Amino acid sequence: MMAFVEKKLPADAPVIDKALNWVDSRFPLTKLWNDQWGQYYAPKNFNFWYIFGSLALLTLVIQIVTGIFLVMHYKPDANLAFSSVEYIMREVPWGWLVRYMHSTGASAFFIIIYLHMAKALMYGGYRKPRELVWLFGFTIFLCLMAEAFFGYLLPWGQMSYWGAQVIVNLFGAIPLIGPDLSLWIRGDYVVSDATLNRFFSFHVIAIPLVLLGLVVAHLIALHEVGSNNPDGIEIKENLDANGHPVDGVPSHPYYTFHDIFGVTIFLVLFTAVVFFAPEMGGYFLEANNFIPADSLKTPLHIAPTWYFTPFYSILRATTSEFLYVVQAAIIGYVCLVYLKSKLPALVKNAIAAIGLVMIVGMMPFGLDAKFWGVVLFGSSVMILAGMPWLDHSLVKSIRYRPDWHKTVFIVFAIAFVTLGYLGVEPPSPIRERISQVCAVIYFSFFLLMPWWSGMGTFKPVPKRVTFTPH
């Protein structure tokens, strides 16, 4: 058992130093600061793509703080929820500002997360040894989707009500357990007061606790293996006499001020939206959500919030005709796995068996297109978790990949954004066809990655990071 030791300071030492010494002797505050930021060496060639991690943490704080103030006046009751939101907006001092900060913060959070994930895709931030960092980040993404979905019902407006009705009903497409699962999620046969109360509980208590734990785990895992960089070089492999990376700099003060600059730009844009365009043309706050929920009046066009729409478009694009395309794609993919993959025979056979089951299930006598739409919807999200094992590129960073790889990334990004846009638009035959094409591109990017990511002539990766002082 270690003896208690308190560092002796001069009698004329500043009060702040004495207070900090008193805390450090009882709690490793300074050690935590140094390990996680102050003396944590990060690559010196970070660019602007590396500010989104800090911005995500800032946005999480904004959401928690504004959420606490909203809960003080919100009533999780089907008869009072909408009027309580109106009360916050009209009667509570600065309530309109807090509500708009929270609603804008939700969209800002997903913009930042999508850009953060795009950075990882470009620079290989999911590659060895950062697989666990990526998986923690992916789980955070899932929690954010659940948190946003549960919170979307709380204003109890028309779009909130009917959006929740549509999404929950999707679970009813699951064979055998679907109807009971939908009933269990709703807590009633329709979206009602019971649904509102359980969604409120998950949004305010359960998911935020899980989210905070995952964020801590994500940061600890990141700082254990070290940060990636635009060159994809492991700076820990080249240390100086003091054991510090020669291509690294302490996060404080260098990246403290780097991130403060990014935070300043973000807050300017964030406040501009909050004060001048909080609804963002109906993308952040829909007009129908300013109308009280009415179970007898269905909106003409029901769509989830924009940050769900890339995946929702894939769901909506899955028609009975599109299933023939999916069947053909499965047959082609299984043949490709058998002919070109180096996977063990057992794994190949398992993939073939799964493909056969899916093909049979898509036959006219099998499961309907609605079920397969839900399957593709879920798969389009879950496939992101497999990135560390799908990418077989010889290098991490896009800087040293063949130039045509960049074209592949650009086409994927265009398809993803197009899916997002089409998801908020009313359905039409031409939009349906475009969504189907983009859905094929989306899945092809990931499922064919084990082959295309290793093709082409790669550029030599330098031994040291490339860095220009600025």
Q: Is residue 325 part of a domain?
A: yes
Q: Is the pTM of this model over 0.85?
A: yes
Residues 34 and 169 in one domain: yes
State the pLDDT at residue 1: 54
Q: Is residue 468 part of a domain?
A: no
Cα separations in angstroms, 309 against 277, 416, 425, 460? 21, 10, 10, 39
The C-alpha atoms of residue 117 and residue 141 are separated, in whole angstroms, by: 10
Q: 3-class DSSP state for residue 153?
A: helix
Residues 277 and 314 in one domain: no
State the pLDDT at residue 470: 58
Q: Is residue 73 part of a domain?
A: yes
Residues 246 and 364 in one domain: no
What six digits make up the tokens of 385?
A: 């978790």
Residues 217 and 358 in one domain: no
Q: Dump strand ranges (E) for 188-302.
A: 248-250
Which residue range forms the structural domain that includes residue 421? Answer: 303-453
**Positions at the binding site for a ubiquinone:** 223
Question: Helix 369-382 and helix 322-340: axis angle, to 10°?
Answer: 50
Quote the DSSP letter at residue 399: G
**Positions at the binding site for heme b:** 102, 116, 203, 218
Domain end: 218, 252, 282, which one? Answer: 282
**Positions at the binding site:** 102, 116, 203, 218, 223
The C-alpha atoms of residue 127 and residue 121 are separated, in whole angstroms, by: 10
Residues 110 and 181 in one domain: yes
Q: Is residue 8 part of a domain?
A: no
Residues 270 and 334 in one domain: no
Residues 278 and 307 in one domain: no
Residues 214 and 312 in one domain: no
> Is residue 2 classed exposed, middle or buried when 0-12, 13-18 and 19+ CB atoms within 10 A define those classes?
exposed
pLDDT tens per residue, range 248-258:
999 989 899 99
What six digits make up the tokens of 320?
A: 């009975």
What are the average pLDDT values for consecutive 10-residue runs of the chain, which has 470 residues? 70 85 87 86 92 96 97 95 96 96 97 97 95 97 95 94 89 86 90 94 96 95 93 89 88 91 96 96 90 89 90 94 95 93 90 94 89 94 96 95 96 97 93 96 97 94 81
Residues 142 and 270 in one domain: yes
The C-alpha atoms of residue 317 and residue 297 are separated, in whole angstroms, by: 25
**Which residues, in sequence order, are CB contacts of 330 under 8 Å at separation 6+?**
355, 358, 359
pLDDT tens per residue, range 25-80:
888 888 888 888 888 899 999 999 999 999 999 999 999 999 999 999 999 999 99
Q: With contact defined as beta carbons under 8 Å apart, do 453 and 405 qualify?
A: yes
Q: Is residue 7 part of a domain?
A: no
